[in-house]
Chains A and B, each alone.
Chain A
Amino acid sequence: MSAPETHMSEQLVTKAEARELSFYYGEFRALKSINMPVHERKVTALIGPSGCGKSTFLRCFNRMHDLYPGNRYEGAIVLQPDNTNLLAREVDPIEVRMRIGMVFQKPNPFPKSVFENVAYGMRVRGEGSRRRIEEKVEQALQDAALWDEVKDRLHQPAYNLSGGQQQRLCIARALATDPELLLFDEPTSALDPIATASIEELMHDLKERVTILIVTHNMQQAARVSDFTAYMYLGDLIEFGVTDELFIKPKMKQTEDYITGRFG
């Protein structure tokens, strides 16, 4: 087991890193001094029982919490290669979200056409060239393995697509903005097993070019798609490690209890 780990650690580059990260919903401390790296071009999964703070942690990365009053961060999330603290007061959340994409739990296409959904990220960035937008939309849909299914109905409403297609559309929408890091918040919890499999396969292909951080309530999914796994409980990061090792021989008793189904 140790051989592949050494092999991996040789080429590991940190893309982002949480340093002493705490998060407060008003007075409630939802994350407690978390330290964790996210490795470049790897899939890192966050697992843990409901309410453990995994989604809260994920949403710190693109400052989603800034949309609601009463939320407060402490500590840092440092994004590489430029060593930017995403949580710093002088860093605008829009700047953060332009570098970090997100796919939500329930597919949330805009009630617009397939094309406009994918083009939206470029439009808000002020891209004026119709040709560049068209190229990028096609590329993003190709990358999200959706192009062949929608190329003849680009200008039809996105809600005509199936649930799985809608979720891949949301992935394409995020990819069209060339994110450095892609956040997935339980992306398959609203999908059937076949659609889930296609999303997982897609994630596997995507990690060649983009770093992925995924929250999942499904341990099998974490084991299937991720290279690294973090187990969280009540706002604490209990254990972080190479996925295979964490699932086969966890270091912490709490982790073992959770993955063997003794609670959670």
Chain B
Amino acid sequence: MKPEIKKRKRWDAIFALCGMVAMMIGVLTFVALFVDMALDGFGRLSWDFFTNYPSRRPGQAGILSAWVGSTLVMVVTAFFAVPLGVAAGVYLEEYAAKNWVTDVIEINITNLAGVPSIVYGLLALGLFVYQFGFGQSILSAGLTLALLILPVVIVATREAIRSIPQAIREGSYALGATQWQTVRYHILPYSSAGILTGVIIGMARAIGETAPIITIGALTFIAFLPPPPVTSEPPFISFEWLMSPFTVMPIQMFNWTSRPEAAFHANAAAAGFVLVFMTLAMNGLAIWLRYRLRRNIKW
């Protein structure tokens, strides 16, 4: 009996070892890349790097227009992707009849998440930039990325809603609630943690997207900021910035890496470090929010 068990258990050890090697290949590659980038770029990280415009002199070049551009584009993306994605997700889960049409829509949304981002860029170039006349603006970029992450938001919304027990819905309906009241007081509040997580993970993907932004014609070198949203004259709020040309972090990086001078490569590494940090910070925020919002929800 005993040697037989030993023989069988040998495969446990073999598989555990293979699994560990596979995991390490992934983890170590990322760590090596990140550390290498941090070492190359860390020397360039300073206050000036964040407050300077790009420059012909690598020592004075900064990422001001890039991080402001990325932030503004993300604001537009979230503004459009969240309401559209959540409404579509709620509709599909709570309202839509369960028939083959819904099934087809479902499969298509899942597939949309796998469409290459450059295809979204081409679509946006034709639709937003030319057809709607938004030009090569922050608005066009925000809408493009909103389209790109829409499937992610829809799928996250649906999964969050599906995890709500049917007993909660029945409890609400049994008290005479309408469908909208059930959605408003139960479905949305209880799924908000999952929805937010999905939104932030989608945004973390969008902030690193380069191809669709280049396709719609973001500038690679830009030495001014969009007009401020707050003005000194009534009505004090301006939306001119939406139509402003812009650049974003990954494009700034791309621009610097394609320069021949090594000093610009250090700038690219520093910008990459900042971009990775932004992405990790967003993921961290997602984890924290999920923990905070779920604390008060138990079934």
Are A101 and B298 neighbours in the complex by a CB distance under 8 Å? Answer: no
State whether the Cβ of B215 lies closer than 8 Å to any Cβ in chain A. Answer: no
Chain A nearest Cβ from B197, distance in angstroms: 18
Let me know if B176 and A98 touch, CB within 8 A: yes
Q: With A and B bound together, what is the CA distance between A102 and B190 in angstroms?
A: 22
Interface centre among B172, B175, B178, B299 (most CB of A within 10 A): B175
A104 lies within 8 A of B170 (CB)? yes
**Candidate in B174, B176, B296 with the most chain A CB atoms within 10 angstroms:** B174
A81: interface (CB < 8 Å): no
A154, chain B: closest CB distance, angstroms: 16
**Cβ of B167 and Cβ of A62 under 8 Å apart?**
no
Indicate whether B35 reaches chain A with its CB closer than 8 angstroms: no
Task: Choose among A94, A101, A110, A174 the residue with the greatest number of B CB atoms under 10 Å from its CB.
Answer: A110
- B169 sits at the interface (CB 8 A): yes
In the complex, which range does the number of interface residues on chain B fall in? Answer: 20 to 34
| Contact call B176/A94, Cβ cutoff below 8 A | yes
- With A69-B97, A108-B171 as known contacts, state yes or no: A124 contacts B181, CB within 8 Å: yes
Tell me if B186 counts as interface (CB < 8 A to partner A): yes
Q: Which residues of A contact B167 (CB under 8 A)?
A: 104, 106, 108
- Contact status of A67 and B296, CB under 8 A, knowing A94-B178, A101-B174, A124-B181: no
The number of A-B residue pairs with CB atoms under 8 Å apart is 67
> B171 contacts A97, CB within 8 Å?
no
Is B185 part of the contact surface with A, judged by Cβ < 8 Å?
A: yes
Q: Are A102 and B174 in contact (CB under 8 A)?
A: yes
In the assembly, what is the distance between CA of A109 and CA of B167, in Å? 9
Least Cβ distance of A8 to chain B in Å? 30
**Residues of B272-299 contacting chain A, CB below 8 A:** 296-299
Residues of chain A within 8 A (CB-CB) of B186 are: 110
Which residues B145-196 have CB closer than 8 A to chain A?
165, 167-178, 181, 185-186, 190
Q: Is B174 within 8 A of A64, CB to CB? A: yes
Verify if B56 is at the interface (C-beta below 8 Å from A): no
| Chain B window 59-82, contacts with chain A (Cβ cutoff 8 Å), 1 for yes, 0 for no | 000000000000000000000000
Are A120 and B173 CB-contacts (below 8 A) given A108-B168, A110-B186, A111-B190?
Answer: no
Contacts A111-B296, A111-B299, A120-B185 given: A97-B168 contact, CB under 8 Å? Answer: no
Say whether A121 faces chain B, with CB atoms less than 8 Å apart: yes
Q: How far, in Å, is B182 (CB) from chain A's closest CB?
A: 9
Q: Which residues of B contact A (CB under 8 A)?
A: 97-98, 165, 167-178, 181, 185-186, 190, 296-299
